[in-house]
A = this chain, B = another copy of it.
Amino acid sequence: MSKNSPAIILSCPQMGENIGASARGMLNFELQDLRLVAPRDGWPNQAAIDNGAGAFDVMSETPVFDALPEALSDCHYVYATTARTRDMVKPVMDVHAAMKDARERHAQGQKIGFVFGPERTGLENNDLSHCHALIHVPTAPDFSSLNLGQCVLLIAYAWHSSAIKESKIEIKTGDADPVTHEKMEELFLRLEGELDKARFFRDDNLKPAILRNIRNMLLRAEITDQEARTFHGIISALIGNKTQD
């Protein structure tokens, strides 16, 4: 975990449980610079430790500050998370835009801070005046109650996943070898032969199209060498010729 990775600053958090959940969510996504401003129930806090699932054993010590500006002293750019939009002249970003912006600043060596307000009220306008930009997490209008720990988790996840330049899909084959075209061809030809014998193709005119469909279907499945052998076994079983299995 980079020393320069973003700080998560909880301003006046009320419930220890949420501090614990925040720490846990941060570590899940490789953040560990947690800072507390005037936590209601003091610090250290047993409820936080209990709900942290070991997070505080892994994290370096969590500093506690009396006021928000002190907690931000080494930060170059600070984003405040808010549920409501405010009557305030300030850039408002959605999460994706904020992370793109933060990644660019981080790459330039800037220390980033993400500030979260207390559970009940959120950040006060005075706190917001210490922050450069607002992050708005859009939630369902009729059920928008993200709790503090969940909100920190989402921001930590969004930060972590913003490092992934391109999304990817890969087919896991484990130890299995993909099948060669030659063996697929053997399989197709055998299947075609057996279907012929079984009078599967009632209309000779349709036969080429049906064969193409079957071929497309099996290629799309990107089957493995082992699976091709299994398929031979299936054909053998269905035609009642166990000796070819």
Residues of A participating in the B interface, judged by any CB pair closer than 8 Å: 1, 24-25, 27-30, 53-55, 58, 85-98, 100-101, 133-134, 138-140, 142-146, 150, 153-154, 157, 160-161, 164, 167-176, 222-224, 227
- A89 adjacent to B176 (CB under 8 Å): yes
Please measure, in the bound complex, the distance between the C-alpha atom of A190 and the C-alpha atom of B170, giving whole angstroms: 63
Report which of B1, B94, B145, B157 forms a contact with A164, defined as CB distance below 8 A.
B94
CB distance from A50 to the nearest CB of B (A): 14
A225 to chain B, nearest CB (A): 11
Task: Give A3 Cβ to nearest chain B Cβ, in Å.
Answer: 15
Question: Is the pair A143, B58 in contact by a Cβ cutoff of 8 Å?
Answer: yes
CB distance A224 to B89 under 8 Å? yes
CB distance from A59 to the nearest CB of B (A): 9
Minimum CB–CB distance from A157 to chain B (whole Å) comes to: 6
Whether B94 lies near A171 (C-beta < 8 A) is no
In the bound complex, do residue B153 and residue A97 qualify as a contact, i.e. CB atoms below 8 Å apart? no
Q: Is the Cβ of A161 less than 8 Å from the Cβ of B95?
A: yes
> Can you name 9 extra interface pairs (CB under 8 A) apart from A86-B174, A98-B169, A150-B153?
A28-B139, A28-B145, A28-B150, A88-B172, A89-B173, A89-B224, A91-B172, A95-B161, A154-B157
Cβ of A174 and Cβ of B88 under 8 Å apart? yes
Q: Which chain B residues lie closer than 8 Å to A92 at the CB level?
A: 169-172
Assess the B172–A85 pair: CB atoms within 8 A: yes
Residue from A92, A133, A167, A171 whose CB has the most chain B CB atoms within 10 Å: A167
- Which residue from B28, B153, B168 sits with its C-beta under 8 Å from A93? B168
A144 CA / B27 CA spacing, docked (Å) = 8
